[in-house]
Structure 1
């Protein structure tokens, strides 16, 4: 390979890295996906995400993009080593982000790349994202321009926030950096919580991750059952919410309730939401003493959990395990509520609130309760 070809290859690979960042900033996921070979892989272990092939990269990227309030990415090219029709290299990243779940801050990261020469030019065969520095301090800036209109109100009351609710300023901060609220509990604490829940009458299954929970939920709920899904990031991020409300396997309660008139069919909405075959959701915290803590702005999911449903199922991330009830309430006030308020502001233009609080020290007598306790973190 002559010197001119080597220079041309380096210029094209650097342009490939820049095209990736431009596609990210322009939110053009189809263009971004086309920068990968058919077997190309995008890995982000810290998210965690692993996507293989252009179609997965496009779809997975769009799902990640839906979580952004705003995202700014800058790329600084690193070393590139060419070996015939393949190459390796690095790109150094400086990013500023605010997500709809309240996460915000800036980070420095490195993409470790592998490239392959194709008929269409150089393409990524692998990008592995490694975070080197993360600062989760609240961001003070914002994109210029007026705020968008408030989103629609959920007629079930399950995701909306309480109008007129007030909180001290401290509760509007969407960030809490205490790792005890975000890191997965170790195995011994998970097992202790599982044992206590079991002793209190819950059925408990320890599962590896959200994918396992998604599979297990499909096994636990029979086709044709009426299912009400409580609002929350756990069901959304795991895909369980879409499985229930976006398909025809179940008689999904939430879409039906949303289509009903709140003024003329309020009683029907109340009865429909309160007495499904299955009430499915998550919790704000689970204690090592065997209690579940559920908070709500409007209370729509609470009747089903407390005895109205034929069965209740909760999918719980490992970061939600706390020692006792006081710790659970602290987690709720200082971590869950700020994040949920940030999400509600982005979606509805107003904060959330803890207007109802349910503590389940045992399942309701006529509503068997199953806790799918994960070994990994998910949700708030």
Structure 2
């Protein structure tokens, strides 16, 4: 096979890039290792920055998002049994965020791709990227029981943290930075209407809790738990009791309970790989960076990468200039590190320390009180959470 851009990974980053390239007139092929059913059912993020919504609109993938997405005006912080609303539009000049599950984004993009887009091959496992430094790299992949090759002008690695793209970088070329957190999240999906109109970030005596939602009828909630926690050790009643305790405030508010349909434990980590380009191989999304979900940045960072790539390829296609492609890594990493810093700060501020450090505990509460009392501090949180402007 031969194409201009070979995309490894059929998640939201790879599929969105394929749509942008298609609309620009650049041919591409998307290789996805899993089957369609698996890809469309992966539970991932659901909070979209305004820039992410705009990108989906621009590529014609926002019809259901416009009809079903839940626009939020801010978030609520809870600590010391008090609630504090962070008003995004008032603090950012009008920006909002939207709740729309990543699974639904993937469904929308897959449907568009299969209807009128370039090739999307499911169960096509990328095995190796050959000659990434050359002008014609090759992706070897396994599809329909036989090994095949895809010759490209460019290869984009959107294959996540465990994909092959990042490992193709020679050790002397790439460097990684990582931080593992001493706790995890126990996340659940529940068939019950949300108990809130906006996301609740709560710091309770026993640790952090987050109340989110996937739709007006499905709630998504999280609990801070020790690393290595087995979800089976948390029966439904125990989960609801602990959530109620961590969300408790001195006001009239009730946590709605309902059937839990899924539960899983997710470790927390930060990871950044530099650079994001080697020869004609470029990384995007989780292949290059991971952030803890506290700041709701993972999906939005991936979309930011793709927006920069889409603009760079459009310029290359129109003029033949590689200037924007040459600066892709530098431009993205500036934003990646800002999001990594914000996610780290949010995580450290809201989670109880497993070692019971009382000094750190007091600092956490002081940070939260500062945000609740200072418009300047609240505006800084709102600006980062709703999404910093993308400079392209």
- For the aligned pair, the TM-score class normalised by the smaller chain equals under 0.3
Greater percentage in helix: 2
The TM-score, its normalising length taken from structure 2, stands at: 0.24
Q: Computing the radius of gyration over CA atoms, which structure comes out larger, 1 or 2?
A: 1
Higher relative contact order (CA 8 A, sep 6+): 2
